[in-house]
Structure 1
């Protein structure tokens, strides 16, 4: 989760969805001011971390729209939580 929240773009996506409710990709890209391909990459990262969910819907005119909404979450950042997160690091930091 911390990795997913480490990007300013992803923080803006979370903030927008939290304040505006669910939205579809094209509208979300316009609101945030980034390209749809870049938005998709950020949304995939957020979704794999469990911070957002998506739902594909078909509009009345037959267009497929992928709606995203933020999931409720509460992260307690404690020394113990950091110790658990360190176990998932893949980069060797030893010198």
Structure 2
């Protein structure tokens, strides 16, 4: 993210990561405290496999981070926590981000100058 806001690709990644009810619930749950996968899956009532899929998407967008820790009994546990973020979504933000998209707009591929 730049000082003026996210690039077009960053904005798409952020919006895509948040455009799912499970992922919104995950961010909300992690806002209160960090959690390990099994604990979070029980709290949200979803399978660990589905949770991990959503956590990977959130992590790729830079919205959550993970740390592997050993429990007292020596088990490896992956803890997730939400990273602070703030994205202003306005027509101006979108207008500034749009020209930086790496994917060309439809019809731009074959244009000649």
> 1:17: which partner in 2?
30
TM-score computed with the length of structure 1 as normaliser? 0.86
Residue of structure 1 equivalent to 2:50: 38
- Partner residue in 2 for 1:63: 75
Aligned to 1:28: 40
Runs of 5+ unmatched residues, structure 1: none
State the shift of 1:54 in Å. Answer: 0.3
Deviations 1:14-37 (A, max 9, x none): 001112x10000000000010000
Question: Which segments of 5 or more consecutive residues in structure 2 lack a partner in the other structure?
Answer: 1-13, 107-113
* TM-score (normalised: structure 2): 0.73
User: Could you say which structure has the greater relative contact order, defined with CA pairs below 8 angstroms and 6 or more residues apart?
Assistant: 2
Runs of 4+ in 1 over 4 A off after TM superposition: 88-92
SS at match of 2:15: coil
Q: Tell which structure's C-alpha radius of gyration is larger.
A: 2
Coordinate RMSD, CA, aligned: 2.1
